[in-house]
């Protein structure tokens, strides 16, 4: 059923109390006006500034009495004709016992017609006695056709305001913009579309990063998501050839419509040795899909009051759904879910895991989940079973060719010509180094060169590498145990 049919059904049933939480009051009023073509009722609107007005007549009647909460409830109770009453921002006045009693009398049809009372506000909190009698109606967000119409209207408005100067439009980019506006109401979508158009008089692919930023700032009401502005291109990541190809094959299915018979990709788990580039790969995957990257920090979710942690997770995941299409990155996921039953925290970790697994299985929005982990033994079996993730990749210590590539990337990033160095020899000396340790060796070499007032060269960098004890040496037992577990059970990223 359409939302108009749903609303009409509520009116036909003479539902005593309907609650609508929205900031788009104009759209709600228009929706009720449209409902009158299906079921006739006298339609009224009340605000504290204008009082009670009738809306279903051709003319706009003056306010009926003073804009007083007590007066409007008395007027509704005394009305001889049943009607629909839209009370905008009325809920704060329900803090008075007399107002609650009057409204309950109306809802229970005591000496009055079977009216439909509609409380409209951005956030409507009711006393428990009234909440039990209320039906909450959520207006559906605009679909792609409505958003495309909105963008075209704003482009036409820009042309009128600028003497007929037409907006430069990239048709493919407009389709992506419309897709990224999904999850917003018409008011917010219009504001963002107007801002993008008036910035440069154009709608092109260059507007997508700004759109993602504006949408995140608007919808991240939970405060537990972090927008990662600095993503990395795939060619900035050394190695991981198999993972790169995996992402490339699924880009079209995630960014557009999947081919018949194929489901869109949903997520991957990255296991690996610390410092081997799992975080960088998460950023590169977002860039590969061409969507924003959001990071969920499990540490910020946990709170001391019962149920608050689970509510924080629900709010964060709901925000991610609204911000879709996007990549959601959960770093070090083993720190947020317990494999030991979570008894030490009163079962909070188990409840968090349960809700996360439910969301992973049932989400409809295009949110691609990238979870990273260093300690596989702390991950619960429910998370690792087939079907939770599309694939589990293992990011191992880099091989010789990848170490050469890492040296080349990090030297070039610091303005040093890679061809001036003996990269094969340096890569051989850095056997067992992670990407982070190779980068740190170059940084240490630059400090040493600055202290000796010389230019960094192969011998000096070789000395820094030889003086470094990598994690594969310091924590050899743990690293080897992880590799022994992962290599036969997961897909190598490289």
Residue owning tokens 């959001």:
294
Name the DSSP letter for residue 334. Answer: G
Cα separations in angstroms, 353 against 61, 224, 272, 333, 491: 56, 17, 21, 10, 24
pLDDT digits (tens, 9 = 90+) for 287-326: 888 888 889 887 777 766 666 778 888 888 888 888 888 8
For residues 491 and 484, give the distance between their C-alpha atoms in angstroms, rounded to a whole number. Answer: 13
**Mean pLDDT, rounded, for 383-404:** 89
What are phi and psi for residue 445, nearest 5 degrees? -65, -40
For residues 111 and 85, give the distance between their C-alpha atoms in angstroms, rounded to a whole number. Answer: 17
Name the DSSP letter for residue 266. Answer: -
pLDDT digits (tens, 9 = 90+) for 94-112: 989 999 999 999 999 988 8
Helix H or strand E segment including 125? none
**Helix runs in 398-451, H state only:** 400-413, 423-429, 435-451
pLDDT for 314: 87
Domain ranges for the chain, please list them: 3-136, 144-219, 234-395, 400-474
What are phi and psi for residue 294, nearest 5 degrees? -115, 135
Indicate if 234-395 has the same CATH topology as 3-136.
yes
For residues 72 and 67, give the distance between their C-alpha atoms in angstroms, rounded to a whole number. Answer: 7
For residues 337 and 358, give the distance between their C-alpha atoms in angstroms, rounded to a whole number. Answer: 14
pLDDT for 61: 59
For residues 134 and 163, give the distance between their C-alpha atoms in angstroms, rounded to a whole number. Answer: 51
pLDDT for 64: 64
pLDDT: is 180 or 192 the higher one?
192
Q: Are 377 and 339 in contact (CB under 8 A)?
A: yes
**Mean pLDDT, rounded, for 444-469:** 92
Partner residues linked to 54 by β-bridges: 44
For residues 369 and 282, give the distance between their C-alpha atoms in angstroms, rounded to a whole number. Answer: 9
pLDDT: is 282 or 343 the higher one?
282
Does 234-395 carry CATH code 3.40.640.10?
no
Least Cα distance to 139 among 1, 28, 236 occurs for 28
What are phi and psi for residue 203, nearest 5 degrees? -125, 100
Neighbours of 436 (CB within 10 A): 18
Neighbours of 159 (CB within 10 A): 15
- Name, in order, each residue with C-beta under 8 angstroms of 21's C-beta and a sequence gap of 6 or more: 121, 122, 123, 124, 136, 138
- Say if residue 444's pLDDT is above 90: yes
pLDDT for 344: 54
Partner residues linked to 121 by β-bridges: 21
pLDDT for 432: 92
pLDDT digits (tens, 9 = 90+) for 373-387: 888 877 888 888 877
Q: Which CATH class is domain 400-474?
A: mainly alpha
pLDDT confidence band for 215 (50 / 70 / 90): confident
Neighbours of 407 (CB within 10 A): 28
- Say if residue 19's pLDDT is above 90: yes
- Say if residue 1's pLDDT is above 70: no
- Say if residue 63's pLDDT is above 80: no
Cis peptide before 325 (omega within 30 of 0): yes
| CATH superfamily, domain at 3-136 | P-loop containing nucleotide triphosphate hydrolases (3.40.50.300)
Task: Tokens for 27, please give them.
Answer: 């759209």
Q: Are 285 and 370 in contact (CB under 8 A)?
A: yes
pLDDT confidence band for 183 (50 / 70 / 90): confident
């Amino acid at each position: 059923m359409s939302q108009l049919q749903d609303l009409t059904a509520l009116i036909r049933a003479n539902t005593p109390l309907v609650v609508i939480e929205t900031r788009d009051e104009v759209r709600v009023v228009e929706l009720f006006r449209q409902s009158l073509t299906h079921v006739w009722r006298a339609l009224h609107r009340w605000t504290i500034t204008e009082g009670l007005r009738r809306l279903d007549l051709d003319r706009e009647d003056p306010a009926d009495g003073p804009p007083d909460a007590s007066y409007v409830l008395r007027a509704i109770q005394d009305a001889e004709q049943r009607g629909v009453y839209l009370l905008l921002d009325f809920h704060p006045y329900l803090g008075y016992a007399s107002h609650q009693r009057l409204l309950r009398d109306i809802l229970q049809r005591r000496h009055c017609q079977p009216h439909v009372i509609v409380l409209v506000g951005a956030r409507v909190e009711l006393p428990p006695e009234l909440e039990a009698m209320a039906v909450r109606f959520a207006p559906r967000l605009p679909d792609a056709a409505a958003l495309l119409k909105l963008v075209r209207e704003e482009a036409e408005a820009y042309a009128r305001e600028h003497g007929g100067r037409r907006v430069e439009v990239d048709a493919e980019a407009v389709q992506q913009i419309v897709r990224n506006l999904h999850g917003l109401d018409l008011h917010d979508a219009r504001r963002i579309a107007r801002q993008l158009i008036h910035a440069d008089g154009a709608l092109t692919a260059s507007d997508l990063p700004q759109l993602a930023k504006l949408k995140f700032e608007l919808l991240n009401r939970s405060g537990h998501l972090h927008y990662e502005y600095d993503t990395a291109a795939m060619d900035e990541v050394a190695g991981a050839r198999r993972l790169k190809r995996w992402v490339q094959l699924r880009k079209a299915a995630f960014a557009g419509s999947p081919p018949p018979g194929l489901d869109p990709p949903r997520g991957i788990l990255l296991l690996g040795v610390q410092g081997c580039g799992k975080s960088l790969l998460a950023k590169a995957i977002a860039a590969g899909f061409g969507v924003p990257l959001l990071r969920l920090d499990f540490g910020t979710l946990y709170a001391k009051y019962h149920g608050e942690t689970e509510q924080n997770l629900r709010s964060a995941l709901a925000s991610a759904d609204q911000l879709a299409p996007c990549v959601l990155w959960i770093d070090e996921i083993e720190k947020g879910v317990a494999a030991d039953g979570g008894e030490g925290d009163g079962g909070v970790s188990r409840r968090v895991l349960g809700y996360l697994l439910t969301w992973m299985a049932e989400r409809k929005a295009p949110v691609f989940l990238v979870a990273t982990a260093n300690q596989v033994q702390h991950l619960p079996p429910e998370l690792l079973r087939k079907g939770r993730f599309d694939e589990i990749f293992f990011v191992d210590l880099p091989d010789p060719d990848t170490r050469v590539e890492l040296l080349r990337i990090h030297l070039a990033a610091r303005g040093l010509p890679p061809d001036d160095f003996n990269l094969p020899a340096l890569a051989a000396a850095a056997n067992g180094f992670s990407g982070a340790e190779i980068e740190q060796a170059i940084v240490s070499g630059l400090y040493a060169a600055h202290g000796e007032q010389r230019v960094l060269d192969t011998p000096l960098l070789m000395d820094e590498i030889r003086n470094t004890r990598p994690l594969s040496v310091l924590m050899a037992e743990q690293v080897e145990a992880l590799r022994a577990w992962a290599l036969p059970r997961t897909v190598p990223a490289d």
